[in-house]
């Protein structure tokens, strides 16, 4: 049984700090958030929550109120499968109880499992491609990679989001005439120009960018710049990312 609840006490926040460091192994003096700031956010009405199993902290999330009736989820980490989903459902309830309309967060567009979780399981939609948003990161997971991010927006009351939150399937099939603008060929990104008539475009991401960065940093960098150019370029032109297909491709609907 997983219990998710808000956190306020310093001892609890110290456990969150340890949990985050155990997950990411941040460089010295470079945590994504300090204990003191978590304390201030919690006291000021921001979102600081932890997920517990048998008294053990197994996940946590920190967010702050943002413009346009939104909660911005700054950092979320979990040590067991399924905990991130429970934290997101708690976030959704928390935000809706306060009259908020959406939750936003950023994530690395190259991480397949996160893209599938955010777009296919939760129903969030990317709004903006943000190149090197946090600069070059030195934690053990990112290993000096440029911190490109997608800004995801989760419309809390949208019918498809409500259905997914209730465990109901929501499947929007990809158009049969969709064309691949960026493919994974032998672990390398291969871009293909698409004609103006193509309304649905697919953009691949690597199977395991974290492992690839360790095994072949050059390939990891190639993927970073290819996805930035293709997906970021499509979004900059005003085209909408509407899903993530087959746990492999971003689906982009061209205007």
Domain assignment of residue 6, yes or no: yes
Please state, in angstroms and rounded to a whole number, the distance separating the CA atoms of residues 133 and 255: 26
Domain assignment of residue 156, yes or no: no
Domain assignment of residue 115, yes or no: no
Question: In CATH, what number is assigned to the domain containing residue 69?
Answer: 3.40.630.30
pLDDT tens-digit profile, the chain (255 residues)? 899 999 999 999 999 999 999 998 887 767 889 999 999 999 999 999 999 999 999 999 999 999 999 999 999 999 999 999 999 999 999 999 999 999 999 999 999 999 999 999 999 999 999 999 988 766 555 556 788 999 999 999 999 999 999 988 777 788 889 999 999 999 999 999 887 778 999 999 999 999 998 899 999 999 999 999 999 999 999 999 999 999 999 999 987
Domain assignment of residue 169, yes or no: no
Task: Look up the domain containing 217 and give its range.
Answer: 179-253
Per the structure, how many domains does the chain have?
A: 2
Please state, in angstroms and rounded to a whole number, the distance separating the CA atoms of residues 172 and 150: 21
């Amino acid at each position: 049984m997983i219990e998710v609840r808000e956190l306020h006490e310093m001892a609890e926040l110290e456990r969150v700090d340890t949990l985050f460091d155990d997950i990411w192994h941040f460089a010295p003096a470079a945590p994504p958030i300090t204990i003191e700031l978590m304390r201030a956010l919690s006291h000021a009405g921001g979102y600081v929550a932890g997920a517990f199993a048998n008294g053990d902290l197994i996940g946590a999330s920190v967010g702050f109120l943002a413009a346009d009736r939104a909660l911005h989820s700054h950092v979320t980490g979990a040590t067991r499968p399924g905990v991130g989903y429970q934290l997101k459902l708690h976030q959704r309830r928390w935000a809706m109880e306060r009259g908020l309309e959406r939750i936003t967060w950023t994530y690395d567009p190259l991480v397949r499992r996160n893209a599938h979780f955010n777009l296919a399981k939760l129903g969030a939609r990317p709004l903006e491609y943000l190149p090197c948003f946090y600069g070059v990161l030195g934690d053990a997971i990112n290993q000096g990679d440029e911190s490109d991010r997608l800004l995801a927006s989760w419309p809390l009351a949208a019918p498809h989001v409500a259905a997914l939150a209730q465990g109901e399937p929501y499947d929007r099939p990809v158009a049969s005439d969709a064309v691949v603008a960026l493919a994974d060929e032998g672990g390398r990104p291969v871009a293909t120009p698409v004609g103006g008539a193509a309304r649905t475009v697919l953009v691949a991401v690597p199977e395991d960018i974290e492992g690839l960065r360790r095994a072949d940093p050059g390939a990891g960098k190639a993927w970073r710049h290819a996805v930035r150019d293709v997906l970021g370029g499509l979004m900059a032109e005003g085209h909408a990312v509407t899903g993530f297909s087959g746990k492999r491709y971003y689906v982009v609907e061209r205007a």
